[in-house]
Structure 1
């Protein structure tokens, strides 16, 4: 039995105290972070260790990308994959006692223009998702969990205004189709929407909004998926909206789920 959280922290060194606050207040057993913006040896692991989180598996880059899995349950490094051969630190996996594998993924944001002919970053995003799809087809995962900032809000109620967002990167039909293909290839179940099947859900609010809470122009970019063989063991999903109001916040908030798994 464990509680899992995922959070795009937007610099783990800049916001280490926010991570500590979340660990102290909510006590997830495992916290997956994205956009750490730090080499692995510069991640402030000692402050997490002091709170009982003695294990960390991470991949890092200086000032850019970066993913980490922090745990108070023993975990072992289960490798990484350079999707689309971008040379970015965007994936790391960890194995739990009993064999469940957690994949922590940070999908490219994709820039501002949803057209790969004029925007290289958008093409990279689609290629990343296509490579994920192909990897899952080639080696269909089992007893696995995939979390992270997938940078796509797939459902109409995952954005503040579906019609206005259709041409905005993160909710275009092309992106939603690519994400759906990767999800289907792996047999992944959207745990958050399994537990909360209806109604608007957001995990990101832009820094550009003068009053993010009043405007509430959010998107659900952060996800927890599980393979079908263990998805029934997940429950109690929640999104911690209030974290967006902490001092010096990330523009993302943590997403939680609970898993009750037999070895």
Structure 2
């Protein structure tokens, strides 16, 4: 069953319902994973999405912040959610499609502004979340699984606009990249996006602070799609939909796509 999947930090699904619906209409991924929904589950605006064919949803929500949701045209069942680092946050939900593929949707903590856990509690929470992810995958190797989401780390030098200038900036510090790689290694995860687009600068996030984000192009690749070894070769067609960053009332993230022939 071939299917296309997209992941997008939407920065409020209620505020940006119309551009979510636009993506569904114009791009029609079979599965759409959203992060930072900023909504209780019962307040997520489903009517328009259901009318567009997304009749299945699993989600975890909170009022005003965090929140993750998976919308699908393909039947799926929820298979749980983890509270990594015991934060009490809605940052993970998982669903299994009818073809047996499990999708994990994550919103890793951003980590605040200072990359030092001794003075910045949020940075410590981020590292602890990643450590718990690593330990979970070491304890039970995932199979036939896809992990997506805003992981809030740009791991490679060409995943940021300036490796040198961002080495001490949260999202690209060596300790974050070390934790990121440890999570990948623990689950034998494969970076689907970079398998398909191995070379060159690639970003999925551009700050709201830039007067002209497109011209400045000071981006980071914070949004990821991974696959387990047993299905990684079925993945293809990866792309970042940069144009969506320029839509009306945009998120500061762009959707990331991949297709799987399974």
Return the TM-score normalized by structure 1. Answer: 0.99
What is the 5 A alignment of 1:133-148?
133-148=134-149
Tell me whether 1:225 sits opposite 2:226 in the alignment: yes
2:35 is matched with 34
Deviation of 1:188 after TM superposition, in Å, equals 0.3
* Mapped partners of 1:46, 1:76: distance in 2: 20
Deviation of 1:46 after TM superposition, in Å, equals 1.0
Show structure 1 runs of 5+ residues with no match: none
1:256 is matched with 257
Deviation of 1:47 after TM superposition, in Å, equals 1.0
SS of alignment partner, residue 78 of structure 1: strand
1:241 is matched with 242
Tell me whether 1:82 sits opposite 2:83 in the alignment: yes
2:67 is matched with 66
Counting matched residue pairs gives: 261
Cα deviation per residue 1:63-103 (whole Å; 9 max; x = unaligned)?
A: 01000000010011110000010000000000011211000
2:16 is matched with 15
* Mapped partners of 1:162, 1:82: distance in 2: 32
* Mapped partners of 1:46, 1:135: distance in 2: 35
Tell me whether 1:25 sits opposite 2:26 in the alignment: yes
2:123 is matched with 122
SS of alignment partner, residue 37 of structure 1: coil
SS of alignment partner, residue 136 of structure 1: helix
Show structure 2 runs of 5+ residues with no match: none
* Mapped partners of 1:97, 1:56: distance in 2: 14
Deviation of 1:247 after TM superposition, in Å, equals 0.8
What is the 5 A alignment of 1:137-176?
137-176=138-177
* Mapped partners of 1:46, 1:105: distance in 2: 24
Cα deviation per residue 1:213-253 (whole Å; 9 max; x = unaligned)?
A: 01000000000000011000000000000111101000000
1:185 is matched with 186
Cα deviation per residue 1:155-202 (whole Å; 9 max; x = unaligned)?
A: 000000000000000000000000000010000000000000000000
* Mapped partners of 1:155, 1:98: distance in 2: 32
